[in-house]
A and B are shown apart, each in its own frame.
Chain A
């Protein structure tokens, strides 16, 4: 019996299995993640809920290759990147991931367009000025603020600033978008708008992992997971002692 290639499912964008992380500070080492399993496919949107200090941001920083897990396995596509060196991780962050943070992290001295272009002028390949400009404008248009390209962050509202940050995350057309409480500094209405912009990215096949405290925003995602005691479970599932 032969299997048609069309029936073979594509590998997930990311697959974490048994990932552990212990934070070693001045105090006693503290286990933050104790065996997290997570799979995200193209077009998936995943919300991660959890109390403050539960390890949501740590998990996101592991997924985004800001940090490396102590144990477990992390596959990007079918490539094992659990122990990837920093030089290669930087290239992957540039090519595969887009990041949106609670604080927008925009540079005040640069215009909105220049802030977006930051993701293109990062030493990972070189785009001529004209192509760069076109990509930046397209990203800003995509989040609905193309007309604000020449404005500097202090002249933009919180929602506009966050959309600039989203445009920066999208400009390289990443395969996975990681958002760490992107609506934390916004009012409800603006927050809804921002979440909608993020969710729209999944329509073109981008995977989205959203860390949030807001259950309404989480409910707009395809899957809702809850991080507690270092483990990731579907929301609503009780922890059995």
Chain B
């Protein structure tokens, strides 16, 4: 062990001396290798960042990996049963969905149908489709004039949904599920709804389909939920003050009733199933899906990543050829030195180790430079373009890219140094020393 350590130290000392003695050649080797290592670093960093950014966006509306979700048709006693079973639970959340119009009383909303606010003509009138075709939904605003009101999807929650969908906070605060429900429903808007209300600052009356009266809502915060339709999130118990439980979820206004559960919430699932079946929901309609976004996306991205890594590897090979070329030329020039080292007792293996140590150190130095360039490049890119891509906000240089850069540098060092190392080890002492 001590012997190995001595040899390792000897190869590093002599390799370092060799690099210092041939600074220009080392620099030229690094130049030829730099682009290759940088390509590997950039591809790996790009793939990781793209992966994270896409995943972050997808998680907002599809949920984190492992989340189990159940979609229920809001018929009969489904909604009351679900709300009762899930009330106060932290490992499961029920989401109801209703249509709401917030704004001037008695007017048609600006975005009739609840579409994006910037979409010309709003979303158009609401439609519902069945086996006979699609037709408009009759509502109380049919004959009203268009005025300053925003139509949005009102999502009632029995608990904090952010453990399943990591909404990005934008302004204000998130819903507090701890205290008593407020008579004035507290709403958290998504970015599209917030944009609408910042453009149309209207008297706040909230009309909800099926409500017994129109409450005055409070806007407490804004989040990025990844959605493009105006949406507001509210505690379901605050909504129940104004809405009969049977009107809480309308399949025409959204996905109906959705239940999100952690992987560990098996007991809740069993209770919910049993209660729903007892309340008349056919058991064969109760399906639980598990979110596997990361797995699916990884498979999709892997192919792309390998294609780009293959291209980067080609560029790296050009760098390796550069190191190899310089290495062979250097060994040719250093025949006497290597013969002399053998003469004073340096084993062949250590001679090969010295040459490899030089190319490995060159590879590592290049990797350090390429990683540094990657870090600086990412910071510059975020400074210049970060505002256009909110998902990239706060993105750090992925450690995987650093590791890939170091591996690329080491591999290039080994590949570029192996043949010169073998040549150095085979230099005959007698021939050279006699010359």
User: A183: which B residues are within 8 A, CB to CB?
Assistant: none
Is there a chain A Cβ closer than 8 Å to B51's Cβ? Answer: no
**B15 CB, nearest partner CB in chain A, Å:** 11
B406-435 at interface with A (beta carbon < 8 Å): 428-430, 433-434
Closest to A56 in B: B434
State the majority secondary structure of interface residues on B.
helix
Is there a chain B Cβ closer than 8 Å to A74's Cβ? Answer: no
User: A38: which B residues are within 8 A, CB to CB?
Assistant: none
User: A122: which B residues are within 8 A, CB to CB?
Assistant: 10, 341, 344-346, 350
Per the CB 8 Å criterion, the residue count for chain A at the interface is: 31
Is there a chain A Cβ closer than 8 Å to B347's Cβ? Answer: yes
Given contacts A61-B429, A123-B350, A126-B2, contact A118 B341 (CB under 8 A): yes
User: A101: which B residues are within 8 A, CB to CB?
Assistant: 433
A93 near B343 with CB under 8 A, answer yes
Closest to A89 in B: B345
Is there a chain B Cβ closer than 8 Å to A107's Cβ? Answer: yes
Find the residue from A67, A86, A94, A118 having the highest chain B CB count within 10 A: A118
**Count of CB-CB pairs between chains A and B under 8 Å:** 89
User: B128: which A residues are within 8 A, CB to CB?
Assistant: none
**B23 CB, nearest partner CB in chain A, Å:** 10
Closest to B3 in A: A125
- A117 vs B342: C-alpha distance when bound (angstroms): 14
User: B341: which A residues are within 8 A, CB to CB?
Assistant: 118, 122
Is there a chain A Cβ closer than 8 Å to B289's Cβ? Answer: no
Is there a chain A Cβ closer than 8 Å to B173's Cβ? Answer: no
User: A86: which B residues are within 8 A, CB to CB?
Assistant: 348
CB contact between B430 and one of A67, A110, A121, A123 (< 8 Å): that residue: A67
- A180 vs B435: C-alpha distance when bound (angstroms): 11
Is there a chain B Cβ closer than 8 Å to A188's Cβ? Answer: no
B14 near A121 with CB under 8 A, answer yes
Find the residue from A66, A94, A105, A123 having the highest chain B CB count within 10 A: A123
Closest to A124 in B: B345
Given contacts A57-B434, A121-B14, A123-B10, contact A90 B340 (CB under 8 A): no
A87 near B10 with CB under 8 A, answer no
B433 near A66 with CB under 8 A, answer yes
Is there a chain B Cβ closer than 8 Å to A168's Cβ? Answer: yes
User: B20: which A residues are within 8 A, CB to CB?
Assistant: 109
A95 near B430 with CB under 8 A, answer no
B6 near A90 with CB under 8 A, answer no
A180 near B7 with CB under 8 A, answer no
B333-365 at interface with A (beta carbon < 8 Å): 336-337, 340-350
User: A107: which B residues are within 8 A, CB to CB?
Assistant: 21, 337, 340
Given contacts A61-B429, A61-B434, A64-B343, contact A110 B10 (CB under 8 A): no
Given contacts A61-B429, A93-B344, A119-B344, contact A110 B434 (CB under 8 A): no
A83-128 at interface with B (beta carbon < 8 Å): 86-87, 90-95, 99, 101, 105, 107, 109-110, 114, 118-119, 121-126
* Interfacial residues, chain B to chain A (CB-CB below 8 A): 2-3, 5-7, 9-11, 13-14, 17, 20-21, 336-337, 340-350, 428-430, 433-434
Q: Which 10 A-B pairs have the closest CB atoms?
A: A94-B345, A126-B6, A109-B21, A123-B350, A66-B430, A61-B430, A123-B7, A66-B429, A122-B346, A119-B344
A-B contact list, 7 entries, CB within 8 Å: A107-B337, A109-B21, A110-B21, A122-B344, A124-B345, A124-B347, A126-B10
Besides the known contacts A90-B345, A109-B21, A123-B346, 14 further A-B residue pairs in the complex with CB atoms under 8 A apart? A57-B433, A58-B430, A58-B434, A66-B343, A67-B429, A93-B345, A94-B345, A110-B17, A110-B21, A121-B13, A123-B3, A123-B11, A126-B3, A126-B9
